[in-house]
Each structure stands twice: as C-alpha cells, then as structure tokens.
Amino acid sequence: MRESAGPVDPVDPVDPADGGGLAAGVAAAAAGVAAASGGRLVVLVDGRSGTGKTTLGDQLAQLLGAQVVHLDDVYPGWDGLRAAADAVARDVLGPPGGYRRWDWVADGPAEWTAVDPDLPIVIEGCGAVSRASAPLASLAVWLEADDAVRWDRAIGRDGDTFAREWDRWAAQEQDFIAAEDPASLADVVLRT
C-alpha cells in the first residue's frame, strides 16, 4: 500500500517547462514516498492532451535517474487509450515488465519493449493514472490546463495529424476520466 503525499492544488498555474523547478519538487516528493515505503520508485503523470505530461515526465526521469515510458508508444492506434491504460498496471508495472510498442507509421504492433523492474520508472500519458495503477505508484500526478491552451500546445507540437484526430481522442479522454476519475486518484494536481 502506498503512502499518499497528499493532494497539492496550486492557486496559480505552473509552467511544466519551467526549467525543472516544478519537476524538482515533484521528484523530491516521489523519492520521499518511495524511501518511506521501501518500494520501487514509480511516478505516474496523467492529464489530457497538451497539459505538459511529456515535458514533466522527461524532467522527472532525468532528475530521478529513472526509465521513462511514454504512453504515446503504447497506445494501439487512435482508438487505444483504454488499452494502454490497462497495460500500465498489467504489463508495464506487472511481471515481466514491459509493453508492446505501437508502430504509428506501419499502424500496427511492433516489438516488445522490456522495462527493468528494479529501476525507478516514470510513466506519462493520458491513461497513466487509473484505479489499477494508482496503488502501484509512489506518486501519481494529474495535470490540468484550459482547453484553448491544451489545443495550442498539442497542435503546435503535432500539427495537422493530431488536429484531425483531436475530437476522436478527446472523446476517449472524457470516457477514461468518467470511468476512472484520475484527478481524484492523484496525489498531486497541477494546473499548467
């Protein structure tokens, strides 16, 4: 059973690309919980598209010396959010530890990618925090942002490809949030 770091909900929005200040605080909290429990350090970073999950996840992985799993590599296509969410607890954090990578160019499954079960891990992406995965985490983080900000970030990053799929993906995000309520499962809630 994990020890909760307690919810944090700042009044002012934070910038996930702040040079690591935010990430340093989250990393310290996660490391503290893992040390207190004596378990493997596992950080889950979730939120809707364009909230800064990848940026924060990469910063945390660097600060913690952790391997990182981007759920963008796990989603089996544009309709695969739920499948990837289920894979977090079952495959990535379960034995033997890993995931079937999705080849977006070939639009099909690719090789099995192993993760080291003994090393710290950061898993980021929409679907990372669920009722099944949250109890396995040292720290679960939920990121929020205004819809217009999320759109600008996501389309600025991924362009027309994501613009065409935005509504389709957003519907899956909404279904996942309705089913799992990841914000309520998170130890830390940040507005970016």
What is the spatial distance between Cα 139 and Cα 29, in angstroms, rounded to a whole number? 8
What is the spatial distance between Cα 140 and Cα 129, in angstroms, rounded to a whole number? 7
First to last CA, the chain: 29
CA nearest to 143, candidates 85, 186, 88: 186
Report the DSSP beta bridge partners of residue 103.
Answer: 108
Domain boundaries along the sequence of the chain = 21-191
What is the spatial distance between Cα 146 and Cα 138, in angstroms, rounded to a whole number? 27
What is the spatial distance between Cα 15 and Cα 51, in angstroms, rounded to a whole number? 10
CA nearest to 10, candidates 159, 188, 129, 139: 188
Contact by Cβ (8 Å): 99, 113: yes
Given this structure, which CATH class describes domain 21-191? alpha beta
pLDDT tens by residue, the chain, 192 residues: 344 444 333 333 455 555 568 899 999 999 999 999 999 999 999 999 999 999 999 999 999 999 999 999 999 999 999 999 999 999 999 998 999 999 999 999 999 999 999 999 999 999 999 999 999 999 999 999 999 999 999 989 888 888 899 999 999 999 999 999 999 999 999 999
